[in-house]
Amino acid sequence: MNNNKNFFKAQERLAKIKAFLLVTPLLLFVLVFFVTPILLILVKAVYNPKVNTLIPQTVMVIKQYDYKNVFPKEEVIKVFLTELQVLSKNRTSGILAEELNRQVSGFGSTIKKTARKIRKEDINAISNYKEYLLKITKKWDNPKFWIAIKRSYSSFTFSNILAAVDLEYDMDGNIVQKDESQRIYFPILIKTLYMAILITFFTIILAYPTAYFLSTLSKSKANLLMIFVLLPFWTSLLVRIVSWITLLQEYGVVNELLLYLNIIEQPLDIVFNQFATIITMTHILLPFMVLPLYGSMRAMDITYVKASASLGANPFMTFFKIYFPLTLSGLSAGAVLVFIISIGYYITPALIGGVDGQMISNLVEFHMRTSNNWELASAIGGILLFITLALYAIYNRLVGVDNMKLG
């Protein structure tokens, strides 16, 4: 009897091992191409050892620097000039200039100018290092430059995360808002969230009656009409965007029709702006709202609605007390899906948004390809990830992931 029991347990373990081996390729794929890149992005947002690596002795001896004295001690400046001279001879001073310029605007040009001047200089022969730096450029009397070097002692920093929401460290190490003229990222982040909310709202307005109409039809008719809902999935994204540009341009179909009907006298500016981005993305993301709603409506037990009507409730009360709550799982699933996709969309705002319709994703692309500031791009991406996880947690709290219906 025990032998049979052990045999069945062994067979059960073997079956579990086989089942695990079947999903192992998928788990490895997710781990390598999804989890690992996200972890690397999060690490890159807070880890930047470049300055520490380029001038290690300087960041060690400048730790006791007090900005109230403007300049650090002479021996600190000597160490800095010595290391900068080595970088200049090795043609790597530009890397240091680029990194420090991200912390203090204008620091990069100061570093480059100083590096050129001291390339062939005898550092030990200089009698007064402070006066020597001021002869090269008066900008060296800015204590922010020395503070930036001092803060580079640690390779881990939250400066990029703070910069991503227009915050920074002041001279005393307190977190403060940047000057109004330097606030770029937070307004665009707010605009991105605002546009994502509008896109989600418009998709709900369009998707709810569409899904309701499909749910009232027979399955054969509903499946036939569902082709028109799924048609955007079978069309190139670029084609859809170009189609909207054709429709909305100055003398496009929309403006020509309004002019023909004498509704307007001059063509409307409805392309390459925020309006065009919202309209186009609403159209592109509409299927992501229709499918969950249609699934929840199809799965609904319609007898509840009939019972409400038979008990004397008017259509208005029946809809808001019975029908609408039963579709909340599909509605919330679609809303979360559309909102999450919207805040990270890139190609549509880039092609049809112009300057006014740009979203936070366009800034991520700018820092990755143009400014080469991967740390700041990673910080912005990390904030978007945090917003997504927070939204997911709220959804799980209010609705529950188990109740999610995607079709």
pLDDT level of residue 270 (50, 70, 90 thresholds): very high
Q: Within 10 Å of residue 391's Cβ, how many Cβ atoms?
A: 15
List beta partners, residue 177.
Answer: 167
Given a cut of 80, whether residue 31 has pLDDT beyond it is yes
Q: Within 10 Å of residue 328's Cβ, how many Cβ atoms?
A: 15
Structure tokens given for 401: 């992931």
Average pLDDT over all residues of the chain: 90
- Per the model's pLDDT, the better-predicted residue between 342 and 6 turns out to be 342
Q: What is the pLDDT of residues 69-117, one digit of tens each?
A: 778 999 999 999 999 999 999 999 999 999 999 989 899 999 999 999 9
| Nearest alpha carbon to residue 96 among 142, 132, 145 | 145
- CATH annotation of 185-403: 1.10.3720.10
pLDDT level of residue 1 (50, 70, 90 thresholds): low
Which pLDDT belongs to residue 2? 57
Given a cut of 80, whether residue 5 has pLDDT beyond it is no
Burial of 354: CB neighbours in 10 Å, binned 0-12, 13-18, 19+: middle
Distance (Å, whole) CA 269 – CA 276 = 9
The answer to whether the CB of 286 falls within 8 A of the CB of 203 is yes
Q: Where are the domains of the chain?
A: 50-155, 185-403
Q: What is the pLDDT of residues 113-153, one digit of tens each?
A: 999 999 989 999 999 999 999 999 999 999 999 999 999 88
What is the mean pLDDT of the segment spanning 3-13? 74
Distance (Å, whole) CA 129 – CA 135 = 10
